[in-house]
Amino acid sequence: MYYEDESGAVSFVVGILVGAALGAGIALLMAPQSGKRTRRQLARAVTQARESAGERFEELADDVKSAVESGRKRIHV
């Protein structure tokens, strides 16, 4: 049951991050500045979001590995 609760929390956080990234992208597109500068900022924001998602994926993979190891130890005990 704990796993289901944690999975919901992870989904919620991912949803918040995706919503924030989309909101930031829309705000950049609507900003009153040159197109070149806006595209540069948008590219930077996408790169940061990609890096953040990669880091979160690595953390999630580590959590899954830990859960699998814990499950294996419980089965063998």
- The 10s digit of each residue's pLDDT in 21-34 is 888 878 877 777 77
- DSSP letters for 13-39: HHHHHHHHHHHHHHHHHHSSS-HHHHH
Across the range 33-40, mean pLDDT stands at 78
Note the pLDDT of residue 66: 87
Note the pLDDT of residue 5: 55
- Beta carbons of 31 and 40 less than 8 angstroms apart: no
Across the range 41-50, mean pLDDT stands at 85
Note the pLDDT of residue 1: 42
- Beta carbons of 38 and 28 less than 8 angstroms apart: yes
**Domain definitions of the chain by residue range:** 2-76
